[in-house]
Chains A and B, each alone.
Chain A
C-alpha cells in the first residue's frame, strides 16, 4: 500500500511540476508555428514529437497541464466550499427541515447525468474554461455534502461532542471546532478523487469543443485536433492521452494511498 502512495505522489508531483515549470520555461515556444517541423515523430530535439503546426508536444502538454489542474482544482474548491458547510449544517440539524432539504437536494443532483448537464451548461452559457469549472463544480457539491453529513452524523454521537455540548457550545461552534477537523482526512481523500474525475471531465468537455478555447492549450483539445491525423502521426494522439492517463492514475493512487495512510479502517471501501 505504501507503494501506491509513493507512485501516486510521484506522478502527481511530476504533473504539478511540469505545469508550474511551464510558467517560466518550456522546451520550445508553444505559440509559434514551424510548418517545416510539422508532425515529426519523437526525437532528441522534440522528445514527444511535434503537432500539425510544428509545435513541440511536450511543451503543449506542460502548458495544457495548467488548464487541467486549474479547472479541476477550482471545481473541487467549489464542491468543498459549498458542500462541506451544507453537510455540516445537515448533520447539525439531523432530521430537521434543513437536513431534509439538503439531503433531498443532494439526491436530486446525483440523479442528473452530470456530463449531459455539463454539456448543456457549457453549450448554453458559452464554451470556455470558466463555464466548464462551474459545470464540473456543481456536481462536486453533493459529493462533499453527502460525505460530510454521513461522517459528521456519527461524530455527533461521540462523547467528546457531548462534552462540548455540555460545556455550552452551540452547533455552529461544535461543527467548526470538533466535527470539521475530524472529517478533514476524509475530505482530503475524496478531494483527490474528485480532482482526478475533474481532469477527466475537463478533457471530455475540451475534446467536444466546450472547454478551454484556443489559444489556451488543453489536453482534450489537443486530442480533438489530433483525431484527423491519427493515421499520419499516431504520436500526436498518443501523447496527450498518456498525459491524462498518468495524471488521473497518479491522483487515484494518491487518493487510495492517503486513505490507507490516514485511516486504516477505510481500506477497501472504495469500489
Chain B
C-alpha cells in the first residue's frame, strides 16, 4: 500500500508539473501585453516599460515561470495586474462562494441519486425502474445553464420564492447565503445526480447477482435487509469514485452557472480577468482548479486502493 501510494504521489507531482507548464505556456502566448492594455493606446513607451518592470514582465519567460510556481508553493499567487491586490486574497474571497456552492450541489446530487438508484435497482425492469432511468436520460441531456434559467423563470420570476441572482455575502447570515445558492446548486446538481443514480443502480444490480447476496438471502435476510447490509456497502466503492470525479465537473460547471446567477465566485473572477488581460489571475485560478481536481482524483485512487487491494497493481 505504501509503495502504491508513493507511486501515485510521484505521478501526482508529475501531473501538476506538466499542468503548470501547459497553463503557463497557453496563457503566455495570449495576444496582448498586460502593461500596454492597462495604460491604453496613448501610453508612452517608457511608461509601459516602467509598468512592465513593476509587474515583473520584463524578465525572461522561464524566470517568470519559476517565480510563479515557487510563489504558489509558498501560498503567494502574485499580484493582480488590474486590482494591484494579492491574487491569493482575491481567490480566497471568491472561494467563499464557489466552494460552498460546489459542496451544496454535491450534497444535493448525492441525496437525490442514492434513493433514486436504490429504488431503481430494487425494482429492476419494472415501472419504477423505467421511470427513474427515463428521468436520468433526461437529466444528462439538459444543459445545466439552461436548467438554471428555467429555475429562475419558475421559482424567481413566477413564484418569487428565490432571488434571480446575486449573493448577499455570508455576513447577511447563513440562511440568506444558502438561499441565494439554492437555485444554482440545484441547477448544478441535476446532471450529476442523473449520472450518479445510474452508477448507483448498475453497481447495485451487479452486486445483487453476487454469491454473497444469495448467501445472505439463504441465511434468512429479507431482500431489503440483504440489499441494505451487503448491497449498499459494496456499491459504495464505485459510487464514491464517481462522486470524487464529479467534484471536478461541479467546479467547472460552477464557472458557467455563476454567470447565470451573477454570483461573485471563481468563475466570474476568471471571466473578468480574461477580459482585463489580468493573466496572472487567470493562470492562478485555472492552476488552482486543476490542482483541486488532480488532488481529489489522487485521494479517490488511494481510497479505492485501500478499500480494494486488487486495484493496487496497475494493468
Contact = CB atoms under 8 A, between A and B. Distances in A.
Contact of B149 (A120, A125, A237): A237
B141 A120 contact: no
B297 interface: yes
B141 A230 contact: no
Interface residues of B, number: 48
Interface stretch (B22-30, B55-63, B81-89, B171-179): B22-30
A241 B205 contact: no
A114 B11 CA distance: 19
Q: Interface residues of B: mostly helix, strand, loop or mixed?
A: helix
A244 interface: yes
Interface stretch (A30-38, A158-166, A181-189, A245-253): A245-253
Contacts of B260: 227
Nearest to A230: B153
B157 interface: yes
Interface residues of A, number: 43
Contacts, number: 121
A120 B288 CA distance: 13
Contact of A120 (B146, B256, B286): B286
A115 B157 CA distance: 29
Contact of A234 (B141, B153, B202, B297): B153
Interface of A: 104, 107-108, 111-117, 119-121, 123-126, 196, 200, 203-204, 207-208, 223, 226-227, 230-231, 234, 237-238, 240-241, 244-246, 248-249, 252-253, 268, 270-271
Interface of B: 11, 15, 18-19, 23, 26-27, 29-31, 137-138, 140-143, 145-146, 149-150, 152-153, 157, 195, 198-199, 202, 205, 242, 248-249, 251-253, 255-256, 259-260, 270-271, 274, 282, 286, 289-290, 293-294, 297
17 contacts: A113-B248, A115-B256, A116-B251, A120-B27, A126-B31, A203-B143, A208-B259, A230-B149, A231-B157, A237-B150, A237-B153, A241-B143, A244-B141, A244-B143, A245-B142, A245-B146, A248-B140
